[in-house]
A and B are shown apart, each in its own frame.
Chain A
Amino acid sequence: MSVLHVTSPHVHRPFTMNALMRHVIYATIPGLIVLTVLFGWGTLINVIFASIVAIAAEAIVLKLRNRPTSFSIKDGSAILTAVLLALAIPPTAPWWLTIIGIVFAIVIAKQLYGGLGSNPFNPAMIGYVLLLISFPLEMTTWVPAYTTEGITSVPTFAQSFAMIFGSVDRDIIDGITMATPLDTFKTYAGNDLTKLQSASVLQGNIAGVGWEWVNVAFLIGGIYLIARKIITWHIPVAVLSGVFLFAGIFHTLDPDSYASPIFHLLSGGTMLGAFFIATDPVTAATSNKGKLIYGALIGVLIYVIRAWGGYPDAVAFAVLLLNLCAPTIEYYTQPRAYGHKKANSGIAK
Chain B
Amino acid sequence: MSAFVQRLSGSLGRRTLIGIPFLWLLLFFLIPFAIVLKISFAEMQISIPPYSSVVEYADESLNIVLNLGNYLFLLDDDLYAAAYLSSIQIALNATLMALLLGYPMAYAMARAPAHMQTTLLLLILLPSWTSFLIRIYAWMGLLSNKGLINNALISLGVITDPIPMMNTNFAVYIGMVYAYLPFVILPIYANLIKHDQSLLEAAADLGCPPWKAFLTITLPLSKAGILAGFMLMFIPAVGEFVIPELLGGPDTLMIGKVLWQEFFNNRDWPVAASLAMVMLLLLIIPIMIFHRQQAKELEAA
Q: Bound pair: A and B?
A: no
Interface residues, chain B, CB within 8 Å of chain A? none
